[in-house]
A and B are shown apart, each in its own frame.
Chain A
Amino acid sequence: MSKTVLTIDDSRTMREMLNMALVQAGYRVIQAVDGVEGLEVLRAEGADVVITDINMPRMDGFGVIEGVRADPAHRATPILVLTTESDATKKERARSAGATGWIVKPFNPTKLVEAIRRVAA
């Protein structure tokens, strides 16, 4: 069984790029376009890893992290935040909300898969 990665990003480009890299690396990918949909999809389908953008309409990445951690079924699901903010405050805020790790955009597929490997079996 392939591991399932849920990617949450409002940018279609970014979703496709994640999809390409992840599928090539052998993961199953499900997608959501914003935080609200992300949490819905996670509840409905489950995922082994969540990758989420920070800046999104309706619900941002911090909301996603809080939502995932507040869901008993996903308290221990690794969450990687995906953002161009190399800005320490955002990263710190994501961390304290419960993010497992982060991927700094732009990423290359190797780095992406490496990050997933670090947080998921």
Chain B
Amino acid sequence: MDPFESIKATFFQECEELLTDMESGLLAMEQGDDDSETINAVFRAVHSVKGGAGAFGLEELIRFAHVFETVLDEMRSGKLPLTDEVAKVLLRASDVLADHVAAARSGGGVDEGRTVGMIADLQGLIDQDRANELGLNDHGDASGADEDFGFVPVVLSLDEPATDAPDVDIAALLSAAAEPAAATPTWKVIFRPRAEMYAKANESALVLRELARLGDVEVSLDASGVPALDQLSAEAAYLTWTIRLSGDKSEAEVREVFEFVEDDCDLTVVREGEAPEMAAADGAESDASASAVEAAAAAPLDLEALLARVAPTAEPAPLEIPPAQPVAAAPVAAPAPAPANLDVAGLIALAEKASQDHAQAAQTPVAKADPKVDQKAEARAGSGAATAATPTIRVDLDRVDRLINAVGELVIQQAMLSQRVFESGLARSSDVALGLEDLELLTREIQDSVMAIRAQPVKSVFQRMPRLVREVADMVGKKVRLVMDGENTEVDKTVIERLSDPITHMLRNAIDHGLETPEEREAGGKGAEGTVRLAALHRGGRIVIEVQDDGRGINRPRVRGIAVTKGLIAEDAVLSDDEIDNLIFLPGFSTADVVSDISGRGVGMDVVKRSIQALGGRISITSEPGKGSKFSMSLPLTLAVLDGMVVSAADQTLVAPLSNIVESLTPRAEDVHLIGGRDAVICIRDTFVPLIDVGVALGFRDTPLPPASGVAVLVESEGGGKAALLVEAIQGQRQVVIKSLEANYQHIHGVAAATILGDGRVALILDVDALVTTSRRKSPRIEKRMAV
């Protein structure tokens, strides 16, 4: 990938993280967290988004981020107090910012009206005078949006590689000056550094070198201020340069070279012929400077003196200059047969630097090392280290998946090997068998570790929800507080990706149907603001997502009425409260009088339920009238492996997911009853459940197995539906690697997937929910009556 594009990709990736950080910060702020670090973190996030956007010339994004950032900066500096209203505006602004990022990423547009409105709202947080002062009212252009944002990767052709030592530049200066310029000298620059300039690690020689890039230069040095060596202070500055620069550069261009140092030097830039005015210089020095050019030109005289002064640098040390000082050594060695005054300039500059360097080195501990600063830095470092994140690496998902597949095969291979060894009649205690046991343990461990790599906290999905809740609440005019729990619950990445839709739907449903309007709530003695709780937890090897509201609850008589009207249940059906509640998942059921645009979207709860079931998940609802409802959705932690019970039916080997199994038993003939001469039920501890002959249900044979000659496996599906699966025998319990049937063949009713067993045979994995649902749909009424 083009490096520029790859950085852009990084930028958008980073934006996602930043937006996430920003939103969690803002949510904390909404809860009243006005800690400066929280506000700072939010500010930094917006700031970084803007910074990156600037580099890519994403004007719209910059413009909005700038206004947002300015408001946050006001808050950061304590000028804008954090109130509930402010937090809400900021949260909405974060949504708009996310839209802008998404638009910039896809190259699409944003809702201009919304942006303008949001900018107005943000500006509204700051009083008008202050906003004007901040330049916020001029379309937020203070970002410098007019600047050249183009970031075109240019292959830089520097005159010299960046690695060049300064002597080359001195040489360039020399040669530049050696051939008197053909062009008319235009500018006369008088440059006198002050000590502060050197203290900030600026160097005269580099500035002069830059100046030489603008055109032909003629440099002369006034070193008359340099005292005798014994009076020379390493920290002081003594030199003044006068540069004649020819070329068609503007004064601004010339001054730009001095951008970093202009406040730490006396600088005069005049057109040749105009009288130099050294602003900061006193009269005498000004004279000296003015005459410096001439003085320098008449070099021989000064040269002797100067050389005498600098001589010690070039000679082996009467002074404390280390002989190995490369900077000092270079110009001495340089055989520059150039005009004397320039040579001296170079020498002096370098000598000055050398002595400064040296002085710094010598003075070190005493110097300006401020112990307090050090301590502070360390304290910060210490506290930082404590909160430092565990180091992480980013890996292509593909690679992880390859590993997971390989481990899957390893598990199968290991199982096959064990089985063959076992079949060969080797004693359990033999070395081979023992070694195999260890291998099995290790394999299991590797598998767990690999699966853990793909496990991710559900946070990434949860984080998108506050925005959804805000938007839906606004749309239906309800007040909603979203509480989230268990965001760090981990689940396989493939599962995470599929959580988003069902959660979205459940939340919409909870706000739209579950919660009452603020007026209704108040009339009912509840607070105007409804609460929706979104939680994730691990239970029984599955991840459970709960969406709970404190709204009106399910109106059971109405739900029942609708179900009867729509022919979903018989008029006289006896249903428990739970069963009535779960009627809303039946196909064709919709409680909303008008299919609302929000939770409806043309999709009923039955579709949600089916999509969850397709993932091996279940969904159910519990409700208490007047108090609220709770949807629980549970999904397997991973879609790659499954703990299963291996059973045989009609000479086939099948796998029943362990998570569905409640218990297994040998049926007694007297417990099994036939309903209508065909559908069998079995009485287990005084409860009747359908008895499903798996061999028949899957079409392996037509004649049912005599119940007493088989084993009944009691399974439970979502919504509490139970059934007993009748199989011929249970072979054992095993972890199996799921191979999708749809991907390799097609969907078969009652079969969820396939797997390869230890002996190399393919076994089908039962879709327990489908089997139970089918059997129950056939005779819900009858079963119920008998169960009562």
Contact = CB atoms under 8 A, between A and B. Distances in A.
Asked whether A and B interact, the reply is yes
A104 B148 CA distance: 11
Given A59-B380, A100-B260, 16 more contacts: A1-B163, A13-B10, A13-B48, A20-B7, A24-B156, A35-B380, A36-B385, A55-B47, A57-B44, A59-B381, A78-B202, A98-B199, A117-B209, A119-B260, A120-B206, A121-B165
A93 interface: no
B777 interface: no
Nearest to B206: A118
Interface of B: 3-4, 6-7, 10-11, 13-14, 40-41, 43-44, 47-48, 50-52, 54-55, 57, 143-144, 147-156, 158, 161-166, 169, 199-203, 205-207, 209-210, 257, 259-260, 263, 356-357, 360-361, 363-365, 367-370, 373-374, 376-377, 380-381, 383-385
B381 A75 contact: no
Contacts of B202: 78, 100-101, 119
Interface of A: 1-3, 10-14, 16-17, 20-21, 24-27, 34-36, 39-40, 55-59, 63, 66-67, 69-73, 75-79, 84, 86, 95, 98-102, 104-110, 113-121
Contacts of A76: 201, 356-357, 360
Contacts of B374: 67, 70
Contacts of A114: 210
A82 to B, nearest CB: 9
Contacts of A59: 377, 380-381, 384
Given A13-B55, A20-B7, A67-B373, A106 B260 contact: no
B673 to A, nearest CB: 68
Contacts of B169: 121
22 contacts: A2-B163, A11-B14, A11-B52, A17-B151, A24-B156, A55-B43, A59-B380, A63-B377, A71-B369, A72-B367, A77-B201, A84-B47, A84-B54, A105-B51, A106-B147, A108-B150, A109-B156, A113-B162, A115-B260, A120-B206, A121-B166, A121-B206
A44 to B, nearest CB: 13
A105 to B, nearest CB: 5
Secondary structure class of chain B's binding surface, majority of residues: helix
A105 B155 contact: no
A72 B370 contact: no
A105 B367 contact: no
B729 to A, nearest CB: 58
B52 A14 contact: yes
Contacts of B57: 106
Given A12-B10, A20-B3, A121-B206, A106 B149 contact: yes
B380 A70 contact: no
6 tightest A-B contacts by CB?
A106-B54, A101-B260, A72-B364, A58-B384, A13-B11, A13-B52
A50 to B, nearest CB: 10
A26 B377 CA distance: 32
Contacts of B143: 84
A109 B153 contact: yes
B377 A98 contact: no
B367 A75 contact: yes
Contacts of A24: 153, 155-156
B161 A108 contact: no
B158 A25 contact: yes
B257 A118 contact: yes
Contacts of A27: 162
A16 B10 CA distance: 8
A25 B153 CA distance: 11
Given A84-B51, A105-B51, A72 B207 contact: no
B384 A36 contact: yes
Given A78-B201, A98-B200, A106-B147, A26 B51 contact: no
Nearest to B199: A98
A3 B360 contact: no
A99 B257 CA distance: 16
Contacts of A20: 3-4, 7, 153
A85 to B, nearest CB: 9
A103 B147 CA distance: 13
A34 B383 CA distance: 13
